[in-house]
Structures are given as structure tokens and as C-alpha cells.
Chains A and B, each alone.
Chain A
């Protein structure tokens, strides 16, 4: 047990840091119905990974810049364009294609790309933990400052506009935060699994709470529970930790599916 704990120490810290992000960004994604947008940022930011590999830049830097730009473009499109669904799907695919092509163009590059698509929480380097901590700090600051405004937008956007809430600014900033959150999850959860992880805990928490604050709290607790359980199962059976965590999320989703439905 102790042996296992020390083996998991980085992954446990990563799990705790990710749980904070799930609590805040996952909840905001759910109440604003940003899941599709977040998925587009997640998949599209593979382009940043490809570019970073090709130009020999740190992966985190490449992915961060690319994901932030993608988030800005998506924010602009969703604010200005009425037929934005098509453009979102296009950006999603174009981003991934950029990644694939630049990895192909990189001479002698054979690293397993699956690592970025599905992640490996057991291999999170300590430098990533600092990145995660910094993003968490930004998220906490963001939600603390703009709690009431963000909630007003989520509940009734037009009314928020009437009250003078900066809807465009907060919509854009939320998507930028989503982008940072996705990048911080790449190495541990991967681009493909990240959306499920960020959706399930808030979805469950929403049914059992009566304020957005408690919804965020409960999401964080559920996420942390899923991480610990998933890691434990992965350790016991020597299987992929990310996949185990997501399977736990899926199972919990099914168990609670009929609870609290109107």
C-alpha cells in the first residue's frame, strides 16, 4: 500500500489539481452548454502539439498557444456567426489535421502519439504540476471575481446583457480558461478523454445541490473520488489509468442517471 502510494504521489497531486479544474471549468461548461466547444478546443489543440514537435518547442508551450488561439477564434465565431456549428466542427478537424501533418513531417519522430490522445496520469512530470497549479490559481481567481456575472449569463444571457454584464468578455475568458484547463489535462488524461472527465462530475453534482457553489464543490469531490478509484483499479489490474478513471466515471453516471430527474 505504502509502496503504491509513493509510486502514485505525482499522480495523486495531479488528480487533486485536476479535480479543482473539473469543479470550476466542468461546472461552467455544463451550465453554459459549452461541451461541444470544449471538445473542439481539446481535439483541435492537437495541432499545437504537432507544431511544437515539428519546431522542437516544449509541448506545453505549443499546445497552450494553439489552444488559446483556437479558443479566441471559437469565442469570436460563437458571438458573431449564426451558423457556428459548421465552423466549430471544421476547426475541430482542421486542428487535428495540422497536428497529424506536422508530426508526419518531423523526421525520425516515432513517439507514441496515443500518449497525447489518451494521456497517462502515472507519467506526469513535476514541471506539469506547476503548470496545473498555476492554471488552478487563475481559475479560482476568475470564478471568485466573476461568480455572480458568470451565473447570470448561464441562467439568462439576455437579462445579463440588460444588466450591463460584459457577456462577450466573460464568454471569451471562459473559453480561454477552458483551453488552459484542457492543456493542463493533456499529459494525464489526454485530449480525447478529457471532455468525459469534465462532464460527468458536474452533471451528477447538479442534481444533488441547490447552489452553483455547492455544485462546484461536489463536482470536485466526485472527480477526486473517480481519480483515486481509477488509479487504484489500474494499479490492481495493471491497466491504463486514464481509461480506468473514465470507466469509473461512466459507471457512476449510469448509477446516478435516474436520480433527481424531473
Chain B
């Protein structure tokens, strides 16, 4: 039995009065590849922020390799959703990727940081883009830069929120091919169910509640009972097509 990377126990969360996530229990194992899907506003991004410790559970708890998320941040790589709001700031891809190497007491970069930058850029085939201003990159290139920022610390746990939103099909396939090869625990929110299903170990469908869909056996066990397996799967696909 592999060790548990993310342990979610009876987690509920609300921003205001209404619960966004309700009584979610799940274990994600070390080196597992999890896809999270579900309708817009279903709580996917919120769940990721709880896993990262950016939000605190209203009820229940989350442990990352046995510890609270705040203590494990250094081993987590994160690619947020909709980071394209700050494109006006004059920054090159290199500056953004290096930000992944910052830490509480690291104010300046050292040679190891530049080595890590070179190696991750090489791996993602974006070495030629390092000196390009972020606003001049295409959607796919920008997402690869943000993926590089998440990977530049060689994290044990990778958390990606819609890494292929507003990315053309070619770049989407490229990004998922890269992800498939990465040897770490991976949690990826995505709408591209057709692509993501290959290589993924399990699919979590989240719409306030969690439905775990075992990708290998295609066995679905809805908690509320009024879904049959096929209905749920159709529902998963419908919500992703919309």
C-alpha cells in the first residue's frame, strides 16, 4: 500500500452562508495522478486552495503527507487558474519561473536557482522563450511557463488548476504528454476529459459533493444513490462539454 499524499477527512467549506464543499472524504496516494472535473462553480478551485492551505476548512481536515498543508508548502508545486489578469507588468518568462524558487528567507537567487531554471526550461522545451515578455507569449507558451514555475522546485505534489484553459489543441496535447511523464503526485483540474483520461489513475467529479470515478474499472459509486453509473458518466461528460 503506497503512502497517503493527501488525506481529506469530512471536509466542508463555505465562503459565506452556503456550503461550497460538503463532507468530502478522499485519500490521494503517493504518485497517483488524479483528474478533477465538474461544472463551473462546483468547488474545484476551492478544494485545491484548501489542499494548498490558502483556505482553512470550515469543518474537517486535510493532511499533506501527514501534516497540515501550511507546513508542507515547500514540497507543493502550484499552477493557479486565470493568472492572466496581470499581464501588464513587464516580466519575462525567466523572472516568473524563478519566482518558484523563492522562499521565506531567500531574497536573492543563487547559481542553483539558475541551474534549476535551465533544466526545467529544457525539459518543457521553452528555453528559447526565457527572455520573452509574458504578454508576448501565446496562451500555450504562458501555461508552460507557469508549469515550469510550479516544477522548478521539483515538488513531490503537483497541483494544477485548469492548466489548458485557453490553450490550443496542439499545446493541450503537449502539456498532457509532459504531465503523464512526470513522476510525482499530480492533481489536475481539467475540462478536457477526453485527453486527460489517458494516464490518469482516478477521476474526481466535484459539484459541492465528491464522486470518485475509478478510471481503470470505470466503476462509479455515487454517494447520493440516485445516479446510475452510466448517468453519472454522461453527466460528467456533459458538464465538461458545456
A164 near B102 with CB under 8 A, answer yes
Among candidates A148, A162, A164, A214, residue contacting B90 with C-beta atoms closer than 8 Å: A214
Would you give the 0/1 interface string for A14-43, flagging 1 where the beta carbon is closer than 8 Å to chain B?
A: 000000000000000001000000000000
Using known A-B contacts A151-B91, A155-B89, A155-B99, determine if residue A161 contacts B54 with beta carbons closer than 8 Å: yes
Would you give the 0/1 interface string for A150-166, flagging 1 where the beta carbon is closer than 8 Å to chain B?
A: 01101110111111111
A211 near B91 with CB under 8 A, answer yes
A31 near B73 with CB under 8 A, answer no
For residue A215, CB closer than 8 A to chain B, the reply is: yes
For residue B83, CB closer than 8 A to chain A, the reply is: yes
A130 to B83, CA, bound (A): 42
For residue A136, CB closer than 8 A to chain B, the reply is: no
> Which of B104-112, B196-204, B234-242 contacts its partner?
B104-112
B89 near A154 with CB under 8 A, answer yes
A33 to B133, CA, bound (A): 20
Which residues of chain B have C-beta atoms less than 8 A from A166's C-beta?
104
Which residues from 54 to 72 on chain B have a C-beta closer than 8 Å to any C-beta of chain A? 54
For residue B13, CB closer than 8 A to chain A, the reply is: no
Would you give the 0/1 interface string for B71-96, flagging 1 where the beta carbon is closer than 8 Å to chain A?
A: 00110101010010011111110011
For the complex, count residues of B whose C-beta is within 8 A of A.
31
B102 near A156 with CB under 8 A, answer no
B107 near A211 with CB under 8 A, answer no
A208 to B87, CA, bound (A): 14
Chain B residues touching A, majority SS: mixed
A212 near B91 with CB under 8 A, answer yes
Among candidates B80, B92, B103, B149, residue contacting A164 with C-beta atoms closer than 8 Å: B103
A148 near B89 with CB under 8 A, answer no
Which residues of chain A have C-beta atoms less than 8 A from B95's C-beta?
151, 211-212
Would you give the 0/1 interface string for A162-194, flagging 1 where the beta carbon is closer than 8 Å to chain B?
A: 111110000000000000000000000000000
A219 to B128, CA, bound (A): 29
A152 near B104 with CB under 8 A, answer no
A155 near B92 with CB under 8 A, answer no
For residue A6, CB closer than 8 A to chain B, the reply is: no
B88 near A148 with CB under 8 A, answer no
For residue B52, CB closer than 8 A to chain A, the reply is: yes
Which residues of chain A have C-beta atoms less than 8 A from B135's C-beta?
262
For residue A126, CB closer than 8 A to chain B, the reply is: no
Would you give the 0/1 interface string for A198-214, flagging 1 where the beta carbon is closer than 8 Å to chain B?
A: 00000000100111101
For residue B43, CB closer than 8 A to chain A, the reply is: no
Which residues of chain B have C-beta atoms less than 8 A from A160's C-beta?
99, 102
For residue A257, CB closer than 8 A to chain B, the reply is: no
Which residues of chain A have C-beta atoms less than 8 A from B100's C-beta?
163
B90 near A159 with CB under 8 A, answer no
Which residues of chain B have C-beta atoms less than 8 A from A155's C-beta?
86, 89, 91, 96, 99
Closest A residue by C-beta to B52:
A162
A162 to B76, CA, bound (A): 8
For residue A146, CB closer than 8 A to chain B, the reply is: yes
B89 near A163 with CB under 8 A, answer no
Which residues of chain B have C-beta atoms less than 8 A from A211's C-beta?
90-92, 95
A117 to B173, CA, bound (A): 59
Which residues of chain B have C-beta atoms less than 8 A from A149's C-beta?
102, 107
For residue A145, CB closer than 8 A to chain B, the reply is: yes
Would you give the shortest CB distance from A261 to chain B, in whole angstroms? Answer: 10
A212 near B80 with CB under 8 A, answer no
A191 to B189, CA, bound (A): 48
A162 near B78 with CB under 8 A, answer yes
A163 to B76, CA, bound (A): 9
B99 near A159 with CB under 8 A, answer yes
Which residues of chain A have C-beta atoms less than 8 A from B103's C-beta?
163-164
Which residues of chain A have C-beta atoms less than 8 A from B149's C-beta?
159
Would you give the shortest CB distance from B158 to chain A, in whole angstroms? Answer: 13
B102 near A165 with CB under 8 A, answer yes
Which residues from 16 to 44 on chain B have a C-beta closer than 8 Å to any C-beta of chain A? none
Closest B residue by C-beta to A212:
B90
A235 to B95, CA, bound (A): 44
Which residues of chain B have C-beta atoms less than 8 A from A156's C-beta?
80, 83, 86, 99
Contacts A155-B89, A159-B99 known; 17 new A-B pairs at CB < 8 A: A145-B107, A148-B98, A151-B91, A152-B99, A152-B102, A158-B80, A162-B52, A162-B54, A163-B99, A164-B73, A164-B103, A165-B104, A166-B104, A211-B90, A211-B91, A212-B90, A214-B90
Query: What residues make up the interface of B, taking CB atoms closer than 8 Å to A?
Result: 49, 52, 54, 73-74, 76, 78, 80, 83, 86-92, 95-96, 98-100, 102-104, 107-109, 131, 133, 135, 149
Q: Can you report 6 A-B residue pairs in the complex whose CB atoms are below 8 A from each other?
A: A31-B86, A151-B91, A156-B86, A159-B149, A163-B73, A210-B90
